[in-house]
Structure 1
Amino acid sequence: DKAKQLELKKVVRRRQCRTNQARYRNKKRIYGDRLQHRVQQRQEELQALRLKRLRLCFSEKANLSPWDSVSEVFRLLETSFRSPWRMTSVDEMMKHAETQQSISQLRKSFAHDVSMDSASGVDALLEELCRYALYFSDPQIQLKRVESAVPGVLTASARLSVAVSEFTLSCVFPHLQGASRNQGACDDDEHRAFREKLLGQRLSCRCEMTFLLDEESGRVVRLETSINLVESLVQVLDDVVDVLKQALLTPECVVGDLVR
């Protein structure tokens, strides 16, 4: 009887230990989630303060529009990254007060035929700018600095962070979705290896935007964007040539149109 009681106590004790361990792990997970949420909130607040400081630093300048243009572009990007479903078109953007305000401000400071890559016009440019919000998962952008090396040219440097999802692979790297029937198993295996390495990866890229201004009007006539996605991909993949050669990206790593 004593042996049975002792064994029973051991069983009960083990159950209690497992319950306590599970409770501890659950508390630890909840605490970690809360901490991560707070960190994300602080990062968003810090980014908002950076943009506010940028506007204040140049509030005494005679011509505010070029600096305000930079600020509004990054403000619109931040909004698109938080709410990508709003960014399918400019018409959809105009339904929401926050994006509507940014677009209204940009239309005042951009030339009507402003260009970026193959896009021309304010609406086309804005839709192209917001494609990273649509095609990548959990995009984040952090403005680092704004410089004016020569009159009429503003350069904004930032850090862009994006995660690769299944939707990213199908839209940006469709050639990695699987081998065709005429291809061998070796090619299929190679594509599978690329997909497995890319899926779920967070890529941190240096990003630069150059605003070219009209001398007379002071409006932005061209926006040149360069995203160093290659540098980030090299850290994940051994060979980026096969991944990039058919990707729907411009040489500056701007996302191309969904349908080509």
Structure 2
Amino acid sequence: WIRPCAGKTTTIKCLCRLLNPTSGKIHIDGFDVIKNPRIAYEKAAAVLEGNRNIYWRMSTKENLKLFAGLQGYSYKQVKNKIEELVEIFGLQGKINTEARFLSRGMQQKLAIACALIKNTKILFLDEPTLGLDVEAIYEVRNLLKGKISSEGKTIFLSSHNMGVVEDVCKRVIIINHGKIVADEEIKKIKELFRVNTYRFEIEGKIGEQIKKEFLKRFLGVRFSTDESKTEIIIDLKDSIRIYEVLEILKKRGVKLINIQNIEPDFEEIYLELVKREK
């Protein structure tokens, strides 16, 4: 994850050797691509930010054939591959439609399909869900988690959409003002920030006296109430203190509907990591 304007597109362009880095080293699959720029082209494919990764006045099929041809493949060689990609990306009904007439989501799916024609082990995706509606984001996320990742490809994804990063990626690098503030598997980062936060769902509304008792005995207590129930969210240093909560509720004659342990929110984790570096 890289925050907006932190240089994520520039980073990917350097990795692809579309730009020359001002310092540092770049290795892809063990090869120094600064000394051997051709390696970057051979080892990786990319879809950059924006919607101009495809040719707008060419149809879906023509774009796929063109990008195959740029790799030295004849249509006969990749005919089955094109048909497979068209089916996977749900482009069957748009096969002869010019790219400029496709929806933004369809254009992005076509761009990713064109990158996959190259059949490299590494795929760079720069903000692949930027500007897409909710349905299109959902479809692209499923494609990245499903077929593409199952082929054993490494997907290098840049995004400031926390939901996409958490849902798609196994490992995350967070960059703030050009400095790496985290580099770890998402699962491990969430474990580091795990607190014993619990949601207690109570039947009906609770009185001010009960609220005061909770606020006196616990830190980080939040209440929310609707017509039929009340939710109490509490950060507990020790999960054994759940029994204290239950004791209060029982003493006050309050009916408990449900208890739930709340997972740490990845967006909150990011904000905490960035705040530490200021």
TM-score by length of 2: 0.25
Greater RCO structure (CA 8 Å; 6+ sep): 2
TM-score by length of 1: 0.26
